Amino acid sequence: MRVEVAAKTATSALVYTAGPASGATVVLAHGAGAGQRSPFIVSFAQALAALGIDVVTFNFPYTEQRRRVPDRAPLLEACYRAVIEGARERVESARQALFIGGKSMGGRIATQVAAADAGAPIAGLVLLGYPLHPPGQPERRRDAHLPAVRRPMLFVQGSRDPFGTPEELEPLLASLHPRPTLHVVDGGDHSFKRSRCDAQAQAAIYEDVQRTMAEWMAATSAGSGTRPPRG
């Protein structure tokens, strides 16, 4: 679907349909270096749809326009808000339970959107490799807004993530309400890849993460009184 973001600015979004039994939608944003057609985003979207959740992916404007440098935060957030609105208008399950999130930067922008609007109809957030800080710069934290999110959050973090390890995240998450869920990928990097891991074993790691995401969204939907996705 085409999404109008601002004057003379639009982007494209893809909908991965789980089927008529789906009771939830997740908007999954890409990271800074790859768009919605990257193997990571495509594989996760297809897997989640197969697990019973409708998925919406999209390109931020700089990616849609084939530029390398990300847009500034206000435009990234405006784009995300426009996609949320488009999803609620055009995907039935998004009006029942809408989750947002994404990979790295995409997840961070999702948290900024949620933090800025306490009334937005967001059931929860799924964050894949949250970029707590730039690699090698732990003092440059990107967490000041997180207390304002105030929705259920699932953090999936590799134990070797240079953008923030689970040990760095844990004290922060303990201070948030409701307390987020942390799923650690043992030995995983920023994209949950393990060193010296063959393709079959890596695929199993991704499948475990995808099942974790689907089960967490189902449980969160059920807890909020909405119909959970089929498994």
Only one residue has tokens 């393990």, namely 194
Quote the domain boundaries for residue 184: 2-223
**Is residue 231 in a domain?**
no
Confidence (pTM): 0.93
> In 3D, which of 107, 136, 103 has the Cα closest to residue 124?
107
The CATH number that applies at residue 186 is 3.40.50.1820
Q: What is the pLDDT along the chain (231 residues), one digit of tens a residue?
A: 899 998 788 899 999 999 777 899 999 999 999 999 999 999 999 999 999 999 999 999 999 999 999 999 999 999 999 999 999 999 999 999 999 999 999 999 999 999 999 999 999 999 999 999 999 999 999 999 999 999 999 999 999 999 999 999 999 999 999 999 999 999 999 999 999 889 999 999 999 999 999 999 999 998 764 443 333
Angle (deg, nearest 10), helices 39-50 and 199-223? 50
Name the phi and psi angles at 128, rounded to 5.
Answer: -105, 105
**Is residue 228 in a domain?**
no
**Is residue 160 in a domain?**
yes
Report DSSP letters for 48-117, one per residue. HHHTT-EEEEE--HHHHTT-SSPPPHHHHHHHHHHHHHHHHHH-GGGGT-EEEEEETHHHHHHHHHHHH-
Q: Quick check: 189 and 161 in contact, CB under 8 A?
A: yes
Residues in CB range of 80: below 8 A, 6 or more apart? 27, 29, 100, 109, 110, 113
**Is residue 230 in a domain?**
no
**Is residue 229 in a domain?**
no
What the block records as the tokens of 41 is 């985003």
145 DSSP 8-state letter? T
> In 3D, which of 198, 3, 202, 221 has the Cα closest to residue 126?
221
What the block records as the tokens of 133 is 């800080």
What confidence score (pLDDT) does residue 224 get?
Answer: 62
**Is residue 167 in a domain?**
yes
- Summarised one tens digit per residue, pLDDT across range 145-194 is 999 999 999 999 999 999 999 999 999 999 999 999 999 999 999 999 99
Q: Give the torsion sign (CA, 144, 177, 25, 120).
A: negative
**Is residue 28 in a domain?**
yes
Domain count for the chain: 1
